[in-house]
Amino acid sequence: MPRTRRRGRRQDPEVARLRRVALDAAAAGLYVFPVKPGGKFPAVPRHSADRCRERGVCAAGHQGWEQRATRDRAQICRWWSGDESARFNVGIACGPSGIVVIDLDTSTEPLPDWGGATTGREVLDQLTAGHGQTLPETYSTMTPTDGEHLYYRLPEGLELRNTHGGHGHSLGPLIDTRAGGGFVVGAGSVRPEGAYLVAEHGQIAELPEWLTSVLTPPPPAAPRQGEPLALPTRRANAYVAAILAGETAAVEQAPKGQRQITLLNAARTLGRLVGGGELDADNAHALLLDAAAVHIGVDGFTAAEAERTITRALAYGARAPRRIDRRHSTADAQGPAEGGEAS
Ligand SMILES: [Zn+2]
């Protein structure tokens, strides 16, 4: 590309390196934007869309990092140019890039409900095995604080938002997901603690179907006749909600031949929560029946059979009550102003 040599304007080699990182990411289809030098927060205006005063760069509509993220080579070269003040880390905006990044953290405190796991990787492996699945190989990175970022392409037409470890439609504790409204810092970026490195080279795999459905919020439940709308996930602790989401997804996706045992195990698990006072028995019953509904009438799976299994397994589970230890469930933390990225 033609370049005008300007006298007295030093080209910082580290800026040139980071520009290469940004250009490579863009060439791989990712939308990039500048992140503060040596940091992990956006270097573009920090206010969120709902606080936008529509001035300055936002005059013609909000222009946060997500809107300004680009694959345009010229814009990338403008951002990453000049002296060391332009040593921006490379932010990757997940929404525009059509990706979801699974962000696996670590903890010094073992998770009792996950066999003493101390990493999001262990939780994810248990979750994957619990669904009878394996994870496809995909592009991944390591963060300076021993975290892992697994990149997945979203299926065409699907949009997801961020989730936060153990809350709502998240995968589990120590696991965040970054999608629409979220970003990650890309490999090649640096922080005082160390560098972001590529862990697994190669293509970004498509998000597996079972993960897609765990991460997809269900359509709002229709109120039953004569009953007020009471979503169990609203009332339950978010941690309980995550368990519900996992168990009901497992039931819905159970392959032929494992439908009964999956339903049985899910009902026992929820039964334990009912016994522990974490969950209302009628709600648990209704949720499980809803989840099993996709199988009813298919290959001899009957409603009566599902009812019986649920009733019995709930009662069985309730005899071994399980309480959620709330010391391990943190307040629903929000990211930085515009979604953002965990360490
Ligand atoms: Zn704005």
Does the pLDDT value for residue 29 go beyond 90? yes
* pLDDT tens sequence across 282-297: 788 888 888 888 888 8
In tens, the pLDDT along 304-315 reads 888 888 888 888
Does residue 211 sit in the same domain as residue 251?
no
Is the pLDDT assigned to residue 339 strictly greater than 60?
no
Query: In angstroms, what is the span from residue 95 Cα to ligand 1's centroid?
Result: 18
Number of domains making up the chain: 2
Domain assignment present for residue 227? The answer is no
Q: How far apart are CA 224 and CA 78, in angstroms?
A: 57
Confidence bin at 328 (pLDDT 50/70/90): very low
For residue 179, pLDDT over 50 is answered with yes
The answer to whether residues 162 and 268 belong to one domain is: no
Average pLDDT value for the chain: 83
Residues 207 and 263 in one domain: no
What's the CA-to-centroid distance between 253 and ligand 1, angstroms? 42
The candidate with the shortest Cα–Cα distance to 89, out of 39, 44, 139, is 39
For residue 16, being part of any structural domain is answered with no
Tell me how far the alpha carbon of residue 83 lies from the centroid of ligand 1, in angstroms.
27
Distance 60 CA to ligand 1 centre (A): 9
Residue 139 lies in a domain: yes
Using the predicted structure, report yes or no on whether residue 340 has a pLDDT greater than 80: no
Distance of CA 141 to the CA centre of its chain: 15
Q: Say how many C-beta atoms besides its own lie within 10 A of residue 332's C-beta.
A: 10
Tell me if 241 is assigned to some domain: yes
CA of 74 to the centre of ligand 1 (A): 23
Report the candidate in 21, 188, 28, 29 with the shortest Cα–Cα distance to residue 96: 29
Going by pLDDT thresholds of 50, 70 and 90, the confidence category of residue 54 is confident
Q: Could you tell me the distance, in angstroms and rounded to a whole number, from the CA of residue 165 to the centre of ligand 1?
A: 28
Separation CA 120–CA 333 (nearest Å): 17
- How many angstroms does the Cα of residue 272 sit away from the middle of ligand 1? 48
Specify if 86 maps to a domain. no
Please give the distance, rounded to the nearest whole angstrom, from the Cα atom of residue 57 to the centre of ligand 1: 7
Q: What is the pLDDT of residue 329?
A: 35
Tell me: do 209 and 267 sit in the same domain.
Answer: no
| Max CA separation in the chain (angstroms) | 83
Q: Report the 3 state secondary structure along 172-207.
A: ECCEEEECECCEEECCCCEECCEECEEEECCCCEEC
Asked if 304 and 237 sit in the same domain, the reply is yes
Q: Is residue 299 part of a domain?
A: yes
Query: Same domain for 104 and 211?
Result: yes
Asked if the structure places residue 61 within a domain, the reply is: no
Rounded distance from Cα 220 to ligand 1 centre (Å): 31
Is the pLDDT assigned to residue 223 strictly greater than 90? no
Token duo for residue 289: 């029946």
CA 333 to centroid of ligand 1, rounded, Å: 23
Backbone dihedral region of 302: left (phi > 0), alpha (psi from -120 to 50 degrees) or beta? Answer: beta
CA distance 322 to 271: 9
159 and 246 part of one domain: no
Q: Are residues 247 and 303 in the same domain?
A: yes
Taking a C-beta distance cutoff of 8 angstroms, is the pair 87, 133 a contact? no
CA dist 49 and 181 (Å) reads 10
Report d(CA 2, CA 298) in Å as an integer. 65
On whether both 205 and 111 belong to a single domain, the answer is: yes
Per-residue pLDDT at 330 exceeds 70: no
User: Is 307 strand, coil or helix?
Assistant: helix
Enumerate residues 6+ apart whose C-beta is below 8 A from 195. Answer: 144, 188, 189
Percent over 70 (pLDDT), the chain = 84
The three-class DSSP label of residue 237 is coil
- Say what the pLDDT of residue 89 is: 98
Output the CA 279–ligand 1 centroid distance in Å: 42
pLDDT reported for residue 9: 62
Q: Which helix (H) or strand (E) holds 52?
A: none
In the reported structure, the alpha carbon of residue 62 is separated from the centroid of ligand 1 by a whole-number distance in angstroms of 4
- Whether residues 245 and 177 share a domain: the answer is no
Q: Does residue 120 sit in the same domain as residue 207?
A: yes
Q: For residue range 224-243, what is the model confidence (pLDDT) as tens digits?
A: 443 333 334 334 466 677 78
Å from CA of 48 to ligand 1 middle? 7
Question: Does a structural domain hold residue 80?
Answer: no
DSSP annotation of 140 reads: E
Q: Give the domain extent around 290.
A: 233-318
| The predicted structure's pLDDT at residue 324 | 63
Give the pLDDT band of residue 169 (cuts 50, 70, 90). Answer: low
